[in-house]
Structure 1
Amino acid sequence: MKTALTTVPGIIGQPDQCEPKTSVIIMSWMWVAILACVPIYRLEISSLSSRIPDLISLLLIACMAFGHFKSSALVAKWRFAVVCIPLAALFSGVNSNLNASILVAIKFVVLLWFSPMVFSFYRNAIPPFIGRVLVGFVGVQTLSAVAGLLQLAGIPILGMVANSGRANGLAGHPNVLGLMCVVAILICLGVKADGKHRIIRFFLATINAAALVGTGSISSMIAMGVSLVVLVVSLRAASKFIFTVLILGVISLVIAALAGVDSNVLLSPVESRVQEVTGESDGVASFDIRQRTYDFALESISEDPFSGVGLDGANQGTFNGVTVVHNYLLRAWYQGGIFMIISFSLISLVLITHVIRSLIAARNAVAASVVVAVLTFGLTSAFYEQQQYWFLLMLALVSFDYIGDELQDSQERANDERIVRTR
């Protein structure tokens, strides 16, 4: 299992020349545990402590203080994007709570500035770091997926049951479980493996595919479709993946049946969710509600495109004072004004640029597809400051960073060989 998931191309960093210090090894394992538990992030907060996000931020600061960071992991556009966030807090805070907006900005800066540098450091100091995270992530997420399937069968897991016929798993919400299923599937399909490892990853992908259907999350399924195209193109394996997806669909239904979940029960979350989105179930269309949030945000932006209503949660609600904007770019502009939309747009640009390069070079398919999945999901969801979503993007960013390192190393070796031959 470990071998299967640690051979993802463009994921594992080059080993350093010297043996890492004990403190580096210990801290790296702490991050492996934290990142592996991203699929159950909300469960941790509700069951353990609401201060977990703050503790994670403090750990990032501690890593920076101990010198566990790689400053070259951030490009100029990314740095400028992060600098715009405190400016957004200052200008939008006047319409809300200035201190609260500044606090949100500080958390954003710590998350978006520190985490790529910290993860890049551990990736270089501990070569198997990202691979260990992937193994842990897929393992934890698969347990959550199994819990979701059992919930559909009417079996409560840790006191949690299906949400209106939709699987929650251990994620705390069907949409969150859906996205985590998508990421796990992309990892399993994108890794290089043979023999028994190929069977294991196929089995894990199938379980998560069944749970994805059980969530009834339209946003996640759209993200799955778009990101799967990116994965297929990056791997240059269209025919093989079409066949694989068809097999996954059939086996998912078989596994669900063996688990006691009727196929109609498994597919009913999708059907009921479509009815909710279109308004066929109760006359109130989920799509219409989201459209009203978009219209409300756009009207607010047209009145004052510069300031925003505040980065904190005081004014994040839209037409009914509760429902937030379900589009991460529009929400950034609505809450943080012009500086926040500049920040989020630049961050998206950096990530999408890496995706395009990966598609052209046919490399780093997993990282590229994960980025596309999260950003696509963010276009129709309440994605904003949640660490669990951003960590997925930060890990992918670190993986993209490795491609440049590897190409540079290979070019340097080629130049050295040419010099030797000419002597």
Structure 2
Amino acid sequence: MKSGSASRDFLLRTATPFLMGGMFFTPMLVLRIGGFTVGDVLFFVASGLVLLSTAPRPPRQPAIQVALLLGLIGSALVLAQTPNIAESTMVSIRVLFVWSIWQFAVRKWAEHPQQLSVLVTCFAVGAAASGAVAIGQAYLGLSVPGTEIVHGRVPGLATHVNGQGGALAVATAMTVGLLLARVRARLHLACLVLIVIGLLLSGSVTGMLAAIVGTFVVMIAQKASLGRLFAILGTAALAVLAALNLQTLVPGASSPLDRFLDTTGQSDSEGTLASRVATYIWTWERIVASPLVGVGLDANSGGTFDGQTQVHNMLLLVWFQGGLLLLTAVLVVIAYTVSAFAKMPPNTLKAPLLGAFAGALTFAMTGPVLYDRWFWLPFVLAWALPVAIQRDVDHQVHPNAKAIVTPQT
């Protein structure tokens, strides 16, 4: 190695394609190496390279450190309650990895906001690829090992249609935000079309609702002009028209209107809304009986009234399975992220990330979400953006200073 800075540049440059690849594969939960998704494996490699570099450490995050401590203690306490220690431990490690190593590596790596914009684009392209696969599954009978079309609902490259709905809802907000900001407009327009189609084919009512909430938050945050507002509303009208005629366009597919009727119990099938409420009631009764220590983070411990269905609300799920300490940790992380957005200076990425954050939370309030990487992605990027903005400003003030890293984007 010629010097510390040369080594630092090499390690961070080497980490860049792994980070980009991790973002691209994040929506593709069915693609795995052993027990880990391909996206996770790439993030592990990228994080290791960044941590080994001699780049300056990002600012400390006392609130996240407190959340990590609470999460670690809470996760340790539930091990005495769970029959599946190995699975419960793996779940807690995945969550704590996001709050510690992954987010630290992204903040250490990012020197310019444009670099984070490239990561968002990689995620959008990955979501579009999953949407394209869903089209192939619906129209061409494409078979993807590990996935299954259930009641006309198409999963794309996710292991479950709800995972497809959540990932594509977050991607919708991010893509709309960058499209409105005219960042790689043609690419993001093409991605948005595939993402929306994939979201409709998933039949995830919660995902569609999260996408709508995220999109409107983006528009409000960007103070979109009247012309752009009408353009978005026109696109939304076309999407609704396509949704209402989805069964005609794709025979056998689950119509979003039918899915809404099913969810709300207005059809012949059992309403999923009623079953979700049943999980809330059942879980709340157990929380009241034992509010301090959870029952375990493994899937079997999280079964509710029928022994299988997970409670479809992130906060109740965390409290029931992880206990009060882990719930407090999650609330600290959410509050810290809200504060980060409030203090964040204006930037092209702020509105897309804020919309994705709102969409992710909307989905999590009616879904069993905990360690899904697509859920935490807006959090991590929101924590990294202020660091990248400040470094970019410092570089402009001191243009002769050697850059920490300048990955080719």
Normalised to the residue count of structure 2, the TM-score between the two structures is: 0.82
Measure how far apart 1:155 and its partner are: 2.7
* Closer, same or farther: CA 163–403 of 1 in aligned 2, 3 Å: farther
Measure how far apart 1:183 and its partner are: 3.1
What code does the residue aligned with 2:65 have?
R
| Residue 36 of structure 2 corresponds to residue 34 of structure 1 | no
Gaps of 5+ in 1: 1-16, 414-423
Partner of 1:220: 207
Normalised to the residue count of structure 1, the TM-score between the two structures is: 0.79
- Assess if the C-alpha contact under 8 Å between 2:294 and 2:320 holds in 1: yes
What code does the residue aligned with 2:73 have?
L
2:69 corresponds to which of 83, 92, 95: 83
Higher helix share: 1
State how 1:221-236 maps to structure 2 within 5 Å. Answer: 221-236=208-223
Partner of 1:311: 297
What code does the residue aligned with 1:37 have?
F
| Residue 191 of structure 2 corresponds to residue 209 of structure 1 | no
C-alpha distance after superposition, 1:27-84 (max 9, x if no partner): 22112111211111x2212xx4324487467536634651467643552111101110
| Residue 155 of structure 2 corresponds to residue 168 of structure 1 | yes
Counterpart of 1:225 in 2: which secondary structure? helix
Equivalents in 2 of 1:316, 1:366: separation in Å? Answer: 33
- Assess if the C-alpha contact under 8 Å between 1:96 and 1:314 holds in 2: no
Equivalents in 2 of 1:182, 1:377: separation in Å? Answer: 8
1:244 corresponds to which of 231, 246, 271: 231
Equivalents in 2 of 1:195, 1:395: separation in Å? Answer: 20
Equivalents in 2 of 1:196, 1:328: separation in Å? Answer: 33
* Closer, same or farther: CA 22–255 of 1 in aligned 2, 3 Å: farther
Measure how far apart 1:270 and its partner are: 0.7
Q: Once structures 1 and 2 are overlaid, which stretch shifts more, 242-251 or 356-365?
A: 356-365
- Assess if the C-alpha contact under 8 Å between 1:230 and 1:359 holds in 2: no
Measure how far apart 1:287 and its partner are: 0.9
- Assess if the C-alpha contact under 8 Å between 1:234 and 1:359 holds in 2: no
Measure how far apart 1:294 and its partner are: 1.0
Partner of 2:12: 24
C-alpha distance after superposition, 1:175-213 (max 9, x if no partner): 222233333332332226899953443333233223322
Equivalents in 1 of 2:76, 2:184: separation in Å? Answer: 52
State how 1:386-405 maps to structure 2 within 5 Å. Answer: 386-403=372-389
Measure how far apart 1:137 and its partner are: 2.1
What code does the residue aligned with 1:92 have?
V
1:365 corresponds to which of 331, 335, 351: 351
Counterpart of 1:344 in 2: which secondary structure? helix
Partner of 1:419: none
1:198 corresponds to which of 185, 210, 229: 185
Equivalents in 1 of 2:181, 2:228: separation in Å? Answer: 16
1:50 corresponds to which of 35, 45, 70: 35
* Closer, same or farther: CA 38–51 of 1 in aligned 2, 3 Å: closer
Partner of 1:12: none
State how 1:400-419 maps to structure 2 within 5 Å. Answer: 400-403=386-389
Measure how far apart 1:143 and its partner are: 2.0
What code does the residue aligned with 1:245 have?
I
* Closer, same or farther: CA 244–68 of 1 in aligned 2, 3 Å: farther
C-alpha distance after superposition, 1:292-340 (max 9, x if no partner): 1111211111111111112333411111111111111111111111101
- Assess if the C-alpha contact under 8 Å between 1:69 and 1:117 holds in 2: no
Counterpart of 1:222 in 2: which secondary structure? helix
- Assess if the C-alpha contact under 8 Å between 2:19 and 2:42 holds in 1: no
* Closer, same or farther: CA 57–99 of 1 in aligned 2, 3 Å: farther
- Assess if the C-alpha contact under 8 Å between 1:88 and 1:337 holds in 2: yes
* Closer, same or farther: CA 161–240 of 1 in aligned 2, 3 Å: farther
2:94 corresponds to which of 98, 107, 114: 107
What code does the residue aligned with 2:265 have?
G
- Assess if the C-alpha contact under 8 Å between 2:282 and 2:305 holds in 1: yes
- Assess if the C-alpha contact under 8 Å between 2:292 and 2:325 holds in 1: yes
- Assess if the C-alpha contact under 8 Å between 2:21 and 2:42 holds in 1: no
1:180 corresponds to which of 167, 177, 195: 167
| Residue 313 of structure 2 corresponds to residue 327 of structure 1 | yes
* Closer, same or farther: CA 153–333 of 1 in aligned 2, 3 Å: same
Equivalents in 2 of 1:388, 1:362: separation in Å? Answer: 20
Gaps of 5+ in 2: 399-409
| Residue 140 of structure 2 corresponds to residue 145 of structure 1 | no
